[in-house]
Amino acid sequence: MCCIEVTNSTPIAMFLPANSGRGRCALALNNFLVALHNDFVGRCKNLLKDESSSPEIPLANITKAHLVGYDPEKDFLPMILAHCDYSLKVGEGTMVEFNWKCLERQLVDRFIRGRPRLTSL
């Protein structure tokens, strides 16, 4: 059932999560992505030794701000450039040094910390 090619004539029911029929694939994908998000948030909390409880939000109420998401060029590149120092020494060329600790802190604060756990359909 989940190996069907999607075309312009594919029924919309294929994309609407349901416990039976054509929506089973969409439901399986939905549940997989929720589990992946929750696992990532949980692992990050463990690595950060964050013992605060994460709020749980039903899928019907989530917004883009609740999810872990980023655009490499708009989000990461400016952040990386903000945390690197260039120095030019005569005869040695350009030296580039990154402040990894500050970069990591900003990445965690902006994209990971405070993200809720999601509850499946």
Express each pLDDT in 60-88 by its tens digit: 899 998 998 888 899 989 999 999 998 88
How high is the pLDDT of residue 91?
A: 82
Does position 1 have pLDDT exceeding 60, yes or no? no
pTM: predicted TM-score of the whole model, two decimal places: 0.76
Residues 56-60: what's their mean pLDDT? 91
How high is the pLDDT of residue 93?
A: 84
Separation between Cα atoms, residue 18 and residue 16, nearest integer Å: 6
Q: Are the C-beta atoms of residues 38 and 114 closer than 8 Å to each other?
A: no
Look-up of token digits 């030296």: 95
Assign 54 a pLDDT band (cuts: 50, 70, 90): confident
Q: Which two three-digit tokens encode residue 74?
A: 């708009």
How high is the pLDDT of residue 116?
A: 94
